[in-house]
Amino acid sequence: MFKDFDPLQGKRLEIMNINGEIVAQKWMPKISDEKIVEAYKTMLYARIGDLKAVSYQRQGRLYTLPTNIGQEAAAVGSAMAIEKNDWMVPAYRELGAWLVKGATMRHYFYYFGGSEEGSRFPEGTRLLPVSVPISSQLTHAAGIGHSINYKGEKDVVITYFGDGGSSQGDFHEGLNWAAVFNCPVIFFCNNNGYAISLPRKKQTKARTIAQKAIAYEIPGIQIDGNDFFAVYRATSEAARYAREGHGPVLIEAVTYRRGAHTTSDDPTKYRSAEEEKEWEQKDPLLRLRKYLESKNLWDEKSEQDHTEESTADIESQFKEYEQFEGTPLEDIFKYQLEEMPDSLKSQMVDMRNFINRKEG
């Protein structure tokens, strides 16, 4: 597959069009109807959870958070294509991938409510906490991949970043290390068109992100990131390639974040209503729903029932979050090192004094 979609040829993997029609049967992944329905249900759940979280933030009940609307196929499709024992090293805009990997909306609310509980996943869940610094997580993924090789294991690592992240030093360090040491890492770029407010063409002169793989002598592929089947197929191929010991792969998923960069951002300042309307037609949920309806696997009642069940479940988890008494101050400091050094002890005292003064 990677030879067929050589980045230097300017090709993009597209399997399903915006009408939900399969236009490249040759590349259609082998996936059961049940799993496709499961994917759609997860994408719909993630959409509802994202909109709910933004609403709660606007009410002052959560801190600043990134929006996910429009990128559900890239998140869910890629996460479903790896195995349960594989590692996931996220950025901060992969709610759907989180859910597939075993996290819950409760974790999401805790994290963006400022609690360490949001990074305390069930035992055995190979999911690292959110990484807010841009692309720092890519070197973490390369390190985990290196350890997998050192231990002689067969797991793979998937890590996420944005198109702006590909201009950071950690991107190059992560890819270089993984390539030199043949680490089993899938570098998954969500190219959503903007590095916060900066258009992609102004933050890198590369024609595609996938082309950057050439410099490291590893496979790179550009895919339609709003096409669930293209995401699933490309990630499955990358996982197989890495698991067989061939090393890392760079995937560029061309998508669009329909919401703001974060709830502190105003996208109307840097993009047009026409552009947003154009991408609304390419919405990943609409496309997959049309496909399922054409196969009689989904209908209006299924949509309504799942929406109501998801909404009730998410609201219940948010209620649980709001009833939580909060993370002890010590938790913020004591997990960084085995023994807390004096510098951290001093910071903890300063923080406690600040809170005491603030609360009077």
Q: Where are the alpha helices (DSSP H) in 181-227?
A: 200-203
Nearest Cα to Cα of residue 87 among 146, 137, 155: 155
| Distances in whole angstroms, Cα of residue 6 to Cα of each of 17, 213, 214, 284 | 21, 10, 9, 25
Predicted pLDDT of residue 227: 98
- The gap between the terminal CA atoms of the chain, to the nearest Å, is 63
Distance in angstroms (rounded) separating the CA atoms of residues 121 and 124? 8
Give the count of alpha carbons within 13 A of 285, CB side only: 18
Give, for all 360 residues of the chain, the pLDDT tens digit: 999 999 999 899 999 999 999 999 999 999 999 999 999 999 999 999 999 999 999 999 999 999 999 999 999 999 999 999 999 999 999 999 999 999 999 999 999 998 889 999 999 999 999 999 999 999 999 999 999 999 999 999 999 999 999 999 999 999 999 999 999 999 999 999 999 999 998 999 999 999 999 999 999 999 999 999 999 999 999 999 999 999 999 999 999 999 999 999 999 999 999 999 999 999 999 999 999 999 999 999 999 999 999 999 999 999 999 999 878 888 888 877 888 999 999 999 999 999 899 877
Residues contacting 318, CB < 8 A, separation 6+: 52, 56, 105, 109
3-state helix, strand, coil in the chain (%, to 5): 50, 10, 40
Q: According to the model, what pLDDT value does residue 304 have?
A: 98
Nearest to 157 by CA among 83, 213, 92: 83
| Residues contacting 117, CB < 8 A, separation 6+ | 107, 110, 324, 327
Candidates 47, 93, 126, 257; catalytic one: 257
Residue 270 among the catalytic residues:
yes
**Alpha carbon of residue 108 to chain centroid:** 13
The catalytically annotated residue of 58, 63, 150, 270 is 270
Q: C-alpha angle 63/66/70, rounded to 5°?
A: 145
* Dihedral class, residue 247 (left if φ above 0, else alpha if ψ from -120 to 50, else beta): left
Query: Which residue blocks in the chain are alpha helix, DSSP H?
Result: 33-58, 72-80, 95-101, 105-111, 136-151, 169-180, 200-203, 228-243, 273-280, 284-294, 300-323, 331-334, 342-358
Catalytic option among 47, 126, 261, 289 = 261
Question: CA-CA-CA-CA torsion for 51, 54, 56, 60, nearest 10 degrees?
Answer: -170
Hey, how many other C-beta atoms are within 10 angstroms of the C-beta on 126?
Answer: 18
Indicate if 261 belongs to the active site: yes
For position 49, what pLDDT does the model report?
A: 98
Residue whose C-alpha is closest to residue 190's, from 141, 231, 243: 231
Please state, in angstroms and rounded to a whole number, the distance separating the CA atoms of residues 360 and 356: 6
Q: What is the pTM of this model?
A: 0.94
* Residue partners of 274: CB distance under 8 A and separation at least 6: none
Q: Which two tokens stand for residue 278?
A: 């154009």
- Residues β-bridged to residue 190: 162, 253
**Cα(178)–Cα(146) distance, rounded to whole angstroms?**
7
d(CA 6, CA 15): 17
- The burial class, CB within 10 Å (0-12 / 13-18 / 19+), for 104 is middle
Residue for token pair 């992609």? 200
238 torsion bin: left (phi>0), alpha (psi -120 to 50), beta (else) = alpha
